[in-house]
Amino acid sequence: MRPATIPKVLLNPLNLSDLTDCRRCPRLVSWREEVAETKRAAYRDDEYWGRPVPGFGSLDAELTVVGLAPAAHGANRTGRMFTGDRSGDFLFASLYRTGFANQASSTHIDDGLVLKNAYVTSPVKCAPPDNKPTADEKANCRSWLMAEWELLQRAQVIVCLGGIAFLETWRLLAETGLDMPRPRPRFGHGAEVDLSKVGGPWIIGCYHPSQQNTFTGRLTPDMIDDVFKRATELIA
C-alpha cells in the first residue's frame, strides 16, 4: 500500500517539508532508509514512508499523547505515528474506548482514523534501531517537538507513554521557560504532575503500549483506559 501524503493539518504551521526532509541524525537516516528498502516480508508490496514522521491530530486538542519514536515497520512504513503496528492497535483501541478517536484500528494513513480532541506525537521523529535513540538524537529532534508544542496552545494534559517520553516532555517544557518543580518527579504508570499552577499542563505517566508491556500484562487495556479517563476528568 502506498503511504500517504503528508497530514494536511501540519502543512503550513510546521513547515512540514523541512521536517520530512530532516537528516540531522546520520545513524537514524541510514536506518530508516535501510528498513524502507529491505522491508519486512509481510509488507513487501508496501511502499515504505522511510522519512521523519510528524505528529497528527487536532492542533486545537486539549490532550497530547507523547510516545517514543516511529516503529521501523509501523509508522516508518505507513507515515503516521503509531499506525500499522501492535502498539498502535493497543493505543488507538483505548483512545476509541475513551472517546478520543472515531475508530479503534490504525492500519494505514488513509484508514479514516480521526482523533477527537487529541494529538499524538513523539520526541524522536525517525525510527531508531532497537527503538533506542541516543541522547544526541533526542536532543537533535527536540526542536521539532517544540515546534509542535508551540502550536498546541489549548493542550491541558500530556500523557507520556514511557519513561523516555516523560523525560523528553519534561526537558521540552523546561526549555519553554516554565518554572519546573525540583527534583523532577519519577515516572510511573498513573503518576501525575500538575504544572497548571505555573502555566503549564498536567502530565500523566503511562506505560508504553509496546508488546513487551502488553503481552506480559504489565499494561492492560483497563490500565491505559484509566489514564485516558483521568485525562478526560482533568480536561473537564
Site residues (vs ligand SF4, CB under 6 A): 22-25, 28-29, 52, 124-126, 137, 140-141, 144
Residues 6+ apart with CB under 8 A from 79: 3, 4, 6, 49, 51, 53, 109
- Please state the closest distance from residue 25 (CB atom) to ligand SF4, in A: 3
Which residues fall within 8 angstroms of residue 157, CB to CB, at 6 or more apart?
62, 63, 64, 201, 202, 203, 204, 231, 234, 235
Cβ distance to ligand SF4 smaller for residue 93 or 141: 141
CB of 143 to ligand SF4, least distance (A): 8
- The nearer residue to ligand SF4, 24 or 116, going by C-beta atoms, is 24
Cell of 220: 492492560
Tell me how far, at minimum, the Cβ of 52 lies from ligand SF4, in Å. Answer: 4
- Between 28 and 165, CB nearer to ligand SF4: 28
Closer to ligand SF4 by Cβ: residue 63 or 172: 172
Nearer to ligand SF4, 32 or 230 (CB): 32
Please state, in angstroms and rounded to a whole number, the distance separating the CA atoms of residues 123 and 172: 9
What minimum distance in Å lies between the beta carbon of 59 and ligand SF4?
19
Are the CB atoms for 159 and 115 separated by under 8 Å? no
* Sign, Cα dihedral of 37, 134, 109, 91: positive
Nearest-angstrom CA–CA distance, 144 and 124? 9
Tell me how far, at minimum, the Cβ of 123 lies from ligand SF4, in Å. 9
